[in-house]
Amino acid sequence: MKKQLSKAELIEHIQTNHDILEQSLATISEKEMTQPGVAGEWSVKDVLAHLMDWEQRLLEWYQAGLRGETPELPASGMTWANLAELNEQIYQKHLRHSLAALMEAYQQSYRHILETVKAMPERDLAGRFAWTKKRTFGDYVAACTCDHYKWANDMIRKWVKAQKKNISKAK
């Protein structure tokens, strides 16, 4: 099992992995953002919608925990065994959003999640909520933020590299 990160370490990991993802995004044109194939049929835009949706899901879990409720994880009526189905629902939910609207929502979501984590007491991250069971809420935060940003960046970088390789083969 991974070492439990302190709040400061978690925030640093969130910011670092998000910054690295942003650097990768800066190299991609608007047209490329909507091309499929980054993660299965998903485009960069779809990957960002996925990240945003999971950030918002995490915030909902946290608010439920603060109210003394046990959130349904990962979503109402679903278990972790339904992740593929849930991710498909997330994809379909955001599919018709414009790139501009999605990018604005993605940036707002990141700012909100970062502000929320910064404001969380360390005890909320370390084990306040019984519904996290063997994990801590900090583990959920890492999974829905820094670990997810790293996954997205890896997928996007591989896709960009493959795109460049295909272009040079075509020449």
DSSP at 2: P
Nearest to 65 by CA among 14, 116, 2: 116
Q: What is the pLDDT of residues 19-52, one digit of tens each?
A: 999 999 999 999 999 999 999 999 999 999 999 9
Q: Buried (b) or exposed (e) across 56-90, using 16+ Cβ within 10 A?
A: ebbbebbebbeeeeebebbbeeeeeeeeeebbeeb
Out of 1.20.120.450, 1.10.357.10, 1.10.3720.10, 1.10.1670.10, which CATH number does the structure's domain 38-162 have? 1.20.120.450
Does residue 124 carry a pLDDT above 60? yes
Q: What is the pLDDT of residue 164?
A: 82
- Of the pLDDT bands very low, low, confident and very high (cuts 50, 70, 90), residue 169 is low
Tell me which amino acid residue 10 is. Answer: L
The token pair that represents 7 in the structure block: 């709040």
The token pair that represents 103 in the structure block: 């990018």
What is the residue-averaged pLDDT of the chain? 94
Q: What is the pLDDT of residue 65?
A: 96
Residue-range domain boundaries for the chain: 38-162
